[in-house]
Structure 1
Amino acid sequence: MNSRELTAPATAGVRESGAAPARTLRDWLAHLDRTGRLATIERTVDLKHELAAIAKRLDGRQAACFMRPGSHSIAVVSGFMSRRAWIAEAMGVSEDALLRRFSDAAAHPLPWREVDADEAACQQIVHTAGIDLYALLPIPTHSEHDNGPYITAGLVIARNPRTGIQNVSINRIQVHGPDRMGILMLPRHLHEFYSAAEANGEPLDVAIAIGVDPLTLLASQAITPIDHDELEIAGALHGEPLPVVKCKTNEVRVPANAEIVIEGRILPGAREMEGPFGEFPKYYSAREAREVIEVRALTHRRHPIYHTIVPAEMEHLLLGAIPREATLLGHLQRSHPNVKDVELSVGGVCRYHLWVQLDKKREGEAKNVILCAFGAHYDIKQVVVVDTDVDVHDPAEVEWAIATRFQADRDLVVIEGAQGSVLDPSTTVGLPDDAPPHMQGISAKMGLDATRPLVYSGHVFTRVRIPGFETADLAALVAPDNAAFGTYMSRANG
Structure 2
Amino acid sequence: MIRETLKFLGERVRVFEEELRHDEVVRFIRENKLERTPVILNVEGKRVAKNFICTRELLCEYLGVRREELCRYLANLDYRSVEISNDFPLREVDVNLKELPILKYYPKDGGRYITAGVVIAKDVEAEVKPDSFNASIHRMMLLGKDKLVARLVEPRHTYLLWRSAVEKGEDLPIAIVIGVHPLFLFASATRLPFGKEFEYASALMNGLKVYRVEDFLIPPAEIVLLGRITDKLEDEGPFVDITGTYDKVRKQPVIEIDRMFLAEDFIYYSITPASYEHTVLMGIPYEPVIYKAVSNVCKVRNVVMTTGSRCYFHAIVQIEKITEGDGKNAIIATLSANPSLKGVIVVDEDIDIYSYEDVEYAIATRFQADKDFVVIKGARGSSLDPSAEETTTKWGIDATKYLSRKNDFERVA
Could you tell me which amino acid in structure 2 is paired with residue 283 of structure 1? Answer: T
Q: Identify which of 415, 421, 427 aligns with 2:382.
A: 421
Match of 2:14, SS state, is strand
Aligned with residue 141 of structure 2, among 174, 197, 203: 174
The structural deviation recorded for 1:100 is 3.0
Task: Determine the structure 2 residue equivalent to 1:46.
Answer: 21
Tell me the equivalent position of 1:64.
39
Deviation at 1:181, TM superposition (A): 0.4
Q: What secondary structure sits across from 2:124 in the alignment?
A: coil
Structure 1 stretches lacking a partner, 5+ long:
1-23, 429-439, 466-494
What is the aligned partner in structure 2 of residue 264 from structure 1? 227
Match of 1:453 among 387, 395, 402: 402
Q: Distance in 1 between matches of 2:139 and 2:393?
A: 27
Deviation at 1:239, TM superposition (A): 2.0
Residues 297 and 329 in structure 2, CA contact (< 8 A), matched pair in contact too: no
Of the three residues 183, 187, 192, the one matched with 1:224 is 192
Distance of 1:167 and 1:390 partners within structure 2:
38
Task: Check if 1:341 corresponds to 2:308.
Answer: no
Q: 2:8 aligns with which of 31, 48, 67?
A: 31
Instruction: Give 2:210's aligned residue.
Output: 244
- SS at 1:449 equivalent: strand
Q: Residues 160-199 of structure 1: matches in 2 within 5 Å?
A: 160-161=123-124, 163-164=126-127, 165-187=132-154, 188-199=156-167
| CA contact 2:225–2:257 (8 Å) conserved in 1 | yes
Decide whether the 8 Å contact of 1:161 with 1:196 is kept in 2. no
2:393 aligned residue? 444
Q: Any unmatched runs of 5+ in structure 2? A: none
Shift of 1:29: 2.0
In 2, Cα distance between equivalents of 1:166 and 1:372? 30
The 2-side partners of 1:421 and 1:264 are apart by: 30
Question: What is the percent sequence identity of the aligned residues?
Answer: 34
Q: Partners of 1:59 and 1:335 in 2: how far apart?
A: 42
2:75/2:291 contact within 8 Å kept: no
User: 1:363-400 CA distances to partner (integer Å, 9 max, x unpaired)?
Assistant: 22111110111111210110100111111122221122
1:103–1:361 CA distance, 2 compared to 1 (3 A) = closer
Residue of structure 1 equivalent to 2:259 = 297
Q: TM-score, normalised by structure 2?
A: 0.94
Report the counterpart of residue 150 of structure 1 in structure 2: 113
Within the candidate set 316, 320, 339, 1:355 is matched to: 316
Query: What corresponds to 2:85 in structure 1?
Result: 115
TM-score computed with the length of structure 1 as normaliser: 0.79
Alpha-carbon shift at residue 321 of structure 1 (Å):
2.0
In structure 1, which of residues 404, 413, 434 is the aligned counterpart of residue 365 of structure 2? 404
Deviation (angstroms), 1:59: 4.3
Give the letter aligned to residue 39 of structure 1: R
Distance 1:235 1:311, change over 3 A: same
Note the alpha carbon deviations across 1:438-486, whole angstroms, 9 max, x for none.
Answer: xx4x11100111112113276x422232xxxxxxxxxxxxxxxxxxxxx
Structure 1 residues 83-114: Cα deviation after superposition (integer angstroms, max 9, x where no partner): 11111111122223322332333xx2223222
Distance 1:112 1:326, change over 3 A: same
1:340-385 Cα distance to aligned partner (Å, 9 max, x none): 1001111111111011001111222111110111111210110100
- Deviation of 1:60 after TM superposition, in Å, equals 5.0
RMSD, aligned CA: 1.6
Taking the TM superposition and a 5 Å limit, the aligned residue runs for 1:53-92 are: 53-56=27-30, 57-59=32-34, 61-66=36-41, 68-70=42-44, 72=45, 74-92=46-64
- Is the 1:155–1:169 contact (alpha carbons within 8 Å) kept by the matching residues of 2? yes
Q: Distance in 2 between matches of 1:59 and 1:324?
A: 26
Comparing both chains, which one has the higher relative contact order based on Cα–Cα distances under 8 Å and sequence gaps of 6 or more? 2
1:100 equivalent in structure 2: 72
Q: Is the 8 A contact 1:28 1:90 kept in 2?
A: no
Q: What is the alpha-carbon distance in structure 2 between the residues aligned to residue 163 and residue 263 of structure 1? A: 17
Q: Give, as a single letter, the amino acid of the residue that structure 1 aligns with 2:241.
A: E
- SS of residue in 2 equivalent to 1:390: coil
Aligned partners of 1:339 and 1:104: how far apart in 2?
A: 13
Separation of aligned partners in 2, 1:180 and 1:60: 30
Which AA in structure 2 matches 1:231? Answer: F
Contact preservation (8 Å) 1:211, 1:306: yes
CA drift of 1:290 comes to 0.6
SS in 2 for 1:282: coil
Shift of 1:204: 0.3
Q: In the alignment, which of 135, 140, 145 is matched to residue 103 of structure 2?
A: 140
For 1:369 and 1:59, the matched residues in 2 are separated by 37
- Which of 166, 172, 175 in structure 2 is aligned with 1:207? 175
Show the 5 A alignment for 1:315-330.
315-330=277-292
Q: Which amino acid aligns with 2:271?
A: I
CA shift for structure 1 position 402? 1.5
**C-alpha displacement at 1:326, in angstroms?**
1.2
Provide the rounded CA distance (Å) in 2 between the counterparts of 1:457 and 1:69: 59
Query: Which has a greater percent of strand?
Result: 2
Number of aligned residues: 407
SS in 2 for 1:334: coil
Structure 1 residue 222: Cα displacement: 2.0
Question: Does the 8 Å contact 1:59/1:82 carry over to 2?
Answer: no
The answer for the alignment partner of 1:380 in structure 2 is: 341
Counterpart amino acid of 2:134?
A: N
In structure 2, relative to structure 1, the CA distance for the partners of 1:97 and 1:162 (3 Å cut) is farther
Tell whether the 8 Å contact from 2:376 to 2:395 is kept in structure 1 after alignment.
Answer: yes
8 Å contact from structure 2 (residues 112, 142) kept in 1: yes
Cα offset, 1:58, TM superposition = 3.8
Q: Report runs of 4+ in structure 1 exceeding 4 Å deviation.
A: none
Matched residue type, 1:246? R
**Secondary structure in structure 1 of the residue aligned to 2:285:** helix
Secondary structure in 2 aligned to 1:88? helix
Q: Distance in 1 between matches of 2:215 and 2:26?
A: 34
Alignment-derived partner of residue 350 in structure 2: 389
- Comparing 292-301 with 93-102, greater Cα deviation is found at 93-102
CA contact (8 A) 1:55 1:64 kept: no
